[in-house]
Amino acid sequence: MMSQATVIFRACVEAIRNNELIEREGPNDKEFHFQNWFKRRLINSGLHFDSPGRNSYPDFRLVKFTEGYELKGLAYPGRNVDYDCNSQVPCGEHNGRDVYYVFGRYPAKPDGNTYPVLDLVICHGSFLNADNEYTHKNKSFRGLGSFGDILVRDRKMYVAPTPFALAQGTAHHRTLIVPANTPVDGDFVKVGDLVRCEVDQIVAAYSFDLRKNEISTELVPNPQAGREHHFAAYRMKGESETPVSLVERSREMFEAGLTVADDEEE
């Protein structure tokens, strides 16, 4: 069965072409304006969905289809190489649903409360992280301090690369990235084949030395080392066919704190 991501992506592209703008309630609306724009696309597509509410994952869950959509609005120019995951590691499946991530960029300093979506990537969560087994939990212990009654909360936060950093050719365009075996109709044009390969070692544990303020990680062999995950990048007919390809050495660049060029030509 064809993923509803193709339906939703088509609705988003048509809205951008028709100059349907993001509308924020005011300068203090820094979170929900892009979500509200996307919500209107779901409504216009005739899809029934649940909006679980603040701090729930994913942001939108389709009712008749086992799919969920997590929204990530990014100001441009601004931070586009990575994003905060708000205590949830990106993944391609959650509670039996396929999870898609919707990255939309909009002007960092708009001259009003309405402004356009500059570019868009909808990608399957497995493009960001192929591991669906990790379960996020916050833990705590009491005993810190001179009197042994201070609680320490291990509240994990995650930072993951955006598809704008992972895949060259996505900036300033509208791109759908899905597993290679995802069926699409004739309105879509393939603009890239992307292969992500699992690393040899993965982090299994970490510890923090309170005396030195140092964190250390424990690496173990990845049982899926070398496994390839194949994806396809698409655009709608009539859109630019600028090719999409993986950024070489992207992991090393992120670890070094470097940025990826963000001014590709149209």
Q: Using an 8 Å Cβ cutoff, are 35 and 20 in contact?
A: no
Question: Would the pTM of this model clear 0.75, i.e. be above it?
Answer: yes
| Position 264 in a domain | no
| Position 210 in a domain | no
| Position 106 in a domain | yes
Residue 136 pLDDT? 86
pLDDT in tens, 159-199: 999 999 999 999 999 999 999 999 999 999 999 999 999 99
Burial class (CB in 10 A: 0-12, 13-18, 19+), 55: exposed
Could you give the CA distance from residue 239 to residue 232 in angstroms, rounded to a whole number? 16
| Position 81 in a domain | yes
Mean pLDDT across the stretch 233-245?
Answer: 97
Is residue 139's pLDDT more than 50?
yes
Residue 28, token pair as written in the block: 């203090």
Is residue 248's pLDDT more than 90?
no
| Position 202 in a domain | no
| Position 61 in a domain | yes
Q: What's the total number of domains in the chain?
A: 1
Which residues have C-beta within 8 Å of that of residue 69, sequence separation ≥ 6?
Answer: 8, 38, 58, 59, 60, 61, 62, 99, 100, 101, 102
Could you give the CA distance from residue 75 to residue 140 in angstroms, rounded to a whole number? 34
| Position 58 in a domain | yes
Q: Which residues of 89-98 are buried (b: 16+ CB within 10 A; e: fewer)?
A: bbbbbbeebb
Residue 66, token pair as written in the block: 């086992």
User: Virtual CA dihedral for 218, 70, 21, 120, nearest 10 degrees?
Assistant: 60
Is residue 260's pLDDT more than 50?
no
| Position 130 in a domain | yes
Domain that holds residue 92: 4-196+229-255
Helical H runs in 80-169?
A: 163-166
Of residues 257 and 248, the one with the higher pLDDT is 248
